Amino acid sequence: MIVRIYPSEISGTIKAPQSKSLAIRLIFLSLFTRIHLHNLVLSEDVIDAINSVRALGVEVKNNSEFIPPEKLEIKKKFIKLKGSGTTLRMLIPIVAAIGGEVTIDAEESLRRRPLKRIVEALSNYGISFSSSSLPLTISGKLSSYNIKISGDESSQYISGLIYALHILNGGSIEILPPISSKSYILLTVDLFNRFGSNVKFYGNKIHINPNNLVEFQGEVAGDYGLASFYALSALVSGGRTTIVNLWEPKEYFGDHNIVKIFREMGATSEYSDGKWYVEAKDKYSPIKVNIDDAPDLAMTIAGLAAIAEGTSEITGIERLRIKESDRIESIRKVLGLYSVGSEVKSNSILIFGINKRMLSSPVTDCLNDHRVAMMSSALALVNGGVITSAECVSKSNPNYWQDLLSLNAKISIE
Ligand SMILES: O=C(O)C1=C[C@@H](OP(=O)(O)O)[C@@H](O)[C@H](O)C1
Ligand SMILES: C=C(OP(=O)(O)O)C(=O)O
């Protein structure tokens, strides 16, 4: 798919894209309780999660009702995923807790992503792995309820271990610091507690004392990270938008902090009562921000930094190299295509903002990374641009291009 973008000003109200992080977590909760998701958006990552729970015996009706099995067991010996890191990295400890043998594989971009820390951790507790990246076969059954794991690679393992220890009726996790992407661990802890469990996260320890989980019926809440590209589009294009269906920002640093970050950069950016309102200004200030707790924000922040008056610095970026693409390189590449300079230091990237009139109108390939297409499409609203392989947005938000159209972006889709 090729999307051509013409100079346009974003305006209007839009519903925030459903959070795939929440959707995947809710789908995995159907290992324990009935989950009925209304109007579930079938992004590729969500489909990966659905296929995973099916392989573990969950009954799935109309891709919306998820009914737990009488007894959790591995029903399929081979699980093929597409590209969801969250699904894969949560599935591995879950499979280890159920016990048995399963082979997992996925498409190329997920095959390239590391699994080192979970392989290393679970190998200490009775689990064998045929390899430390996909495709791999896992066999055995988790032999301890107190798990130690390094927190420096991905939080997704720790979210998965919280599920695993619910399967085993309780236990603890010790995270060897640093604790990366902490906001996503908090999301998992919060969700289990809201469903009636008892999960405590103090310092670097998580204690799990499971209770029966309540059932759920409803729609998956909106996602700040995915919504942030609509906000970015409004800010770079001189427009405004209201994004609805978002939850009250939490006190910890997470994707919701983008509301504040855009405000600190000089935009009008306010949250009130489920709605996030942004309005463009003539000038934006550069920012210095550490994104390690919420790494998916890097590309959105880089997008506004591209037209800020001065040099921005995004720190805590090391792990961006192990996302769908090497996102340090991808950010540099997209910025370069629009004639914006950048420099990578050991754990940070400097972005030298330019006057937006000077942005080029390039062709960007999505590099197999949905967020590359989203970042580039926002910048293209200024002087135009083309995105190739534009269907890559379906990993997280298949409605992305239609949503931009409904926000008055002038785009053609071929
Ligand atoms: O748990 C989650 O839903 C996610 C955790 C983060 O990954 P890491 O913990 O690997 O940084 C984030 O980048 C990803 O998009 C979603
Ligand atoms: C990194 C991402 O997702 P995942 O790790 O789940 O593939 C993302 O959506 O940017």
pLDDT in tens, 249-285: 999 999 999 999 999 999 999 999 999 999 999 999 9
Mean pLDDT value across residues 355-370: 96
Mean pLDDT value across residues 312-318: 98
In 99-132, where does DSSP find H-type helix?
108-111, 116-123
Residues ≥6 apart with Cβ < 8 Å to 182: 155, 252, 253, 293
pLDDT > 70 fraction of the chain, expressed in percent and rounded: 100
Are residues 199 and 266 both part of a single domain?
no
Any ligand 1 atom below 6 A from CB of 295: yes
Among 19, 28, 48, 86, name the best residue to mutate to test ligand 2's pocket (greatest count of ligand atoms within 8 A of Cβ). Answer: 86
Any ligand 2 atom below 6 A from CB of 160: no
pLDDT at residue 95 in the model? 98
Is 86 strand, coil or helix? helix
Strands across the sheet containing 410-413:
363-365, 385-388, 3-6, 410-413
Strands across the sheet containing 100-105:
78-80, 100-105, 136-140, 127-129
Residue 143: pLDDT above 90?
no
- Reported as type and span, the H/E element at residue 67 is strand 65-67
Report DSSP letters for 348-386, one per residue.
EEEEE---GGG----EEE-TT-HHHHHHHHHHHHHH-EE
Are residues 116 and 144 both part of a single domain?
yes
- What is the atom index within ligand 1 of the atom nearest the CA of 187? 1
Are residues 13 and 24 both part of a single domain?
no
Q: For 201-246, what is each residue's pLDDT tens digit?
A: 999 999 999 999 999 999 999 999 999 999 999 999 999 999 999 9
> What is the distance between the alpha carbons of residues 166 and 144, in angstroms, rounded to a whole number?
13
Q: For 9-18, what is each residue's pLDDT tens digit?
A: 999 999 999 9
* Arithmetic mean of pLDDT over the chain: 97
Owning domain of residue 11: 3-17+222-413
Both tokens of residue 200? 């405590």
- What is the atom index within ligand 2 of the atom nearest the CA of 85? 7
Are residues 29 and 146 both part of a single domain?
yes
- Look at strands 268-272 and 199-202 and give their pairing: unpaired
Nearest by Cα to 369 from 334, 321, 328, 324: 324
> What is the distance between the alpha carbons of residues 352 and 36, in angstroms, rounded to a whole number?
47
Are residues 201 and 272 both part of a single domain?
no
Ligand 2, atom 8: nearest CA belongs to which residue? 296
Among 24, 153, 184, 320, name the best residue to mutate to test ligand 1's pocket (greatest count of ligand atoms within 8 A of Cβ). Answer: 184
| Residue 282 labelled as part of a binding site | no
Both tokens of residue 74? 């591995």
Last residue of a domain, one of 173, 189, 218: 218
Are residues 72 and 164 both part of a single domain?
yes
Ligand 2, atom 4: nearest CA belongs to which residue? 85
Rounded distance from Cα 288 to ligand 1 centre (Å): 22
Position 405 confidence tier, pLDDT thresholds 50, 70, 90: very high
Are residues 236 and 170 both part of a single domain?
no
Are residues 233 and 92 both part of a single domain?
no
Any ligand 2 atom below 6 A from CB of 266: no
- What is the atom index within ligand 1 of the atom nearest the CA of 319? 11
- Starting from the CA of residue 175, give the closest ligand: 1
> What is the distance between the alpha carbons of residues 380 and 334, in angstroms, rounded to a whole number?
11
Last residue of a domain, one of 218, 247, 266: 218
Q: What are the angstrom distances between the C-alpha of 27 and each of 92, 113, 196, 398?
A: 15, 23, 16, 18
Residue 144: pLDDT above 90?
no
pLDDT at residue 286 in the model? 98
Last residue of a domain, one of 165, 197, 218: 218
Q: In total, how many domains does the chain have?
A: 2
Residue 43: pLDDT above 90?
yes
Asked if 369 contacts 329 with a C-beta cutoff of 8 angstroms, the reply is no
Both tokens of residue 335? 């910025």
- Reported as type and span, the H/E element at residue 104 is strand 100-105
CATH of the domain at 31: 3.65.10.10
- Look at strands 59-61 and 240-244 and give their pairing: unpaired
pLDDT at residue 359 in the model? 98
Are residues 287 and 325 both part of a single domain?
yes
Both tokens of residue 380? 């293209």
Are residues 187 and 47 both part of a single domain?
yes
- Starting from the CA of residue 163, give the closest ligand: 1
pLDDT > 90 fraction of the chain, expressed in percent and rounded: 99
Are residues 237 and 164 both part of a single domain?
no
- Starting from the CA of residue 183, give the closest ligand: 1
Any ligand 1 atom below 6 A from CB of 383: no
Are residues 172 and 231 both part of a single domain?
no
> What is the distance between the alpha carbons of residues 404 and 7, in angstroms, rounded to a whole number?
13
